[in-house]
Amino acid sequence: MTPPRLYKTEAIVLRQRKLGEADRILTLHTPAHGKLDAKAKGVRKTTSRMSGHLQPLNRCMVQLARGRTMEVIAGCETLESFQRLRDDLDRLSRALYVAELADRFLPEGVESVATYRLLLETLRRLQSDADQDIVLRYYEMRLLDLSGFRPELARCLGCDQPLQPQQNFFAPAAGGTYCSSCGAGAAGSRTLSLNGLKVLRLLQRASYKETGRLSMPPALAQEVERHLRSYIVYMLERDVNAAAFVERLRREQQPLEV
């Protein structure tokens, strides 16, 4: 359905970039219209009343006018500013990572209430005292799932047999797991411990409430992070526009413990 010429929607600001002398283009995630770009006119002028409402991560109510090439923001009002995220650099960098991942994985203009809710809940969790690692891993796995990049974690992608409860392999290029015999020589495959597999499976099928009870020793948390990150990097590498982001993720990757 084509939205009317002027419409209101709730949105979370994923990112912003400069346009011309005084304008910005904002990438918004809305529930009903998915991800979209919108022009904010004059927001870089000191007199702009809108600029404060359009910071990245803000949840706001925006009024959008259909433009010829992209929507134009006609008005906006902050609903939630996530101040606690902005006051703490670690939290802020995690939250920006979460927003950027949504930007990279979501197609434009496709209704997506589920990813909107996931993004909003994740930002709220990052503000709370919840285990930040688990919040991020849960978000990554759910986002992959909802955006059509769900990794295989039940069977071996080589011989199609169910995985045995032992050390197996994880291979991003193949799209998930290999058994202990198929994975040994497979390109880009890395060992996956039994506990690592259990945590990845839990993240894939359990609710956040259930995963929130997890308590991972640091080595296991690192292993799970590494596998998920390498999978995300692999999926994004096929997108040339994600190159700089991929580079940053690579640099941030924890070295593998042996």
Evaluate whether 76 touches 51 at the Cβ level (below 8 Å).
no
> Of residues 94-113, which lie at the interface with Zn ion (CB under 5 A)?
none
User: Do 16 and 27 meet the contact criterion of CB atoms below 8 Å apart?
Assistant: yes
Q: How far apart are the first and last CA of the chain?
A: 54
Contact call for residue 182 and Zn ion (CB under 5 A): yes
Comparing CB distances to Zn ion, the nearer of 116 and 178 is 178
In the complex, least distance from residue 223 CB atom to Zn ion, rounded to whole angstroms: 21
Shortest spacing between CB 187 and Zn ion, in angstroms? 15
Shortest gap between Cβ of 159 and Zn ion (angstroms)?
3
199 binds Zn ion (CB under 5 A): no
Which of 156, 214, 216, 232 binds Zn ion (CB under 5 A)? It is 156
159 contributes a contact to Zn ion by CB under 5 A: yes
Give the residue among 45, 43, 100 at the shortest CA–CA distance from 72: 43
Does the protein bind Zn ion through residue 197 (CB under 5 A)? Answer: no
CB 231 to Zn ion: min, Å: 19
Segment near Zn ion (CB under 5 A), from 13-21, 41-49, 157-165, 217-225?
A: 157-165
**In this chain, which of 62, 85, 141, 179 binds Zn ion, going by CB under 5 A?**
179
Answer yes or no: are the C-beta atoms of 88 and 70 closer than 8 Å: no
Q: How far is the CB of 200 from Zn ion (least distance, A)?
A: 17
In the structure encoding, which two tokens stand for residue 211, read together? Answer: 């995963």
Residue 138 is encoded by which pair of tokens?
């849960």
Binding segment (CB under 5 A) for Zn ion, from list 104-112, 127-135, 149-157, 190-198: 149-157
User: Which is it for strands 71-80 and 34-40: parallel, antiparallel or unpaired?
Assistant: parallel
* 76, burial (CB in 10 Å: exposed 0-12, middle 13-18, buried 19+): buried
Number of Cβ within 10 Å of residue 195's Cβ equals 15
158: contact with Zn ion by CB under 5 A:
yes
Residue 151 engages Zn ion in binding (rule: CB under 5 A): no
In order of 117, 135, 241, the CA distances from 112 in angstroms are 9, 20, 22
The contact set with Zn ion (CB under 5 A) reads 156, 158-159, 179, 182
